[in-house]
Structure 1
Amino acid sequence: MNEQLNDAIIDETNCISDRKSHHPDKTKHNLTARLNRIEGQVRGIKNLIEKDAYCDDVLNQISAIQSALNSVGRLLLEAHMKSCVVERLQEGDTEVIDEMMNTFKKLMK
């Protein structure tokens, strides 16, 4: 089951989708590198809190992480639109438009 979770996408209802992305290695590497940096930043915030760092310093780091996550989201969204969405539309699957509208709503919160 753990492998299935690693290979699947969980949507807003926590249902597991077995659809896969097919991004170029360069895109995957870029996204992974950014996420690794974000992971390090999150650990840094944890350390700041454990060391009773000044709240404003912690909040500034949280803001930086949110910005970095938004950047990853924009990159992934662009890649998704140019590959997965175009491919599904070419196959006649217009349900992808509703899916994208729901995704946009989540990203714009």
Structure 2
Amino acid sequence: MDGVGISDTAAGHSYIGDKNSYLSQLRQIEEQVRGVHRMVQNETYCIDVLAEVSAMAMALEAVSLGLLDDHLAHCVAGAAAASGLEAAELKVKEASDAIARLVRS
């Protein structure tokens, strides 16, 4: 971590209102991973395994996009309003880096 998120930890994160939703989605993804593990262990047909992997990737993408949206709407906007241009630019850079990681994945 580059230190930007450290101060956010002390103040709390913007997704806290959606925390239960994110946790629910992550539990479902966790179950999907276990299911794929069983499918591979049982030598399930490759196309069926790939379909499940694709569904997991889409579910993870949905969580990622939700977190990114929350970050932009709360953290970036909050930094701009409360701390001025330099903090806002730092948060925008942080968000841009996150978007770049998502696009590459």
Show the counterpart of 2:15: 23
Q: What percentage of aligned pairs have identical amino acids? A: 27
Show the counterpart of 2:24: 33
Provide the secondary structure at the position in 1 that maps to 2:44.
coil
Relative to total residues, which structure has the larger helix share, 1 or 2?
2
Of residues 60, 70, 83, the one that matches 1:69 is 60
Alignment deviations for residues 29-75 of structure 1 (CA, whole Å, 9 cap, x no partner) = 11110000000000000000111111111000000000000111111
Of the structure 1 ranges 15-24 and 31-40, higher mean CA displacement relative to structure 2 is found in: 15-24
For structure 1, which runs of at least 5 residues remain unmatched after alignment?
1-10
Distance between the aligned counterparts of 1:17 and 1:96, measured in 2? 9
Q: Say how many residue pairs are matched.
A: 96
Question: What is the TM-score with the length of structure 1 in the denominator?
Answer: 0.79
For structure 2, which runs of at least 5 residues remain unmatched after alignment?
none
Cα RMSD, aligned residues only? 1.9
Show the counterpart of 1:96: 91
Show the counterpart of 2:102: 107
Question: What is the TM-score with the length of structure 2 in the denominator?
Answer: 0.82
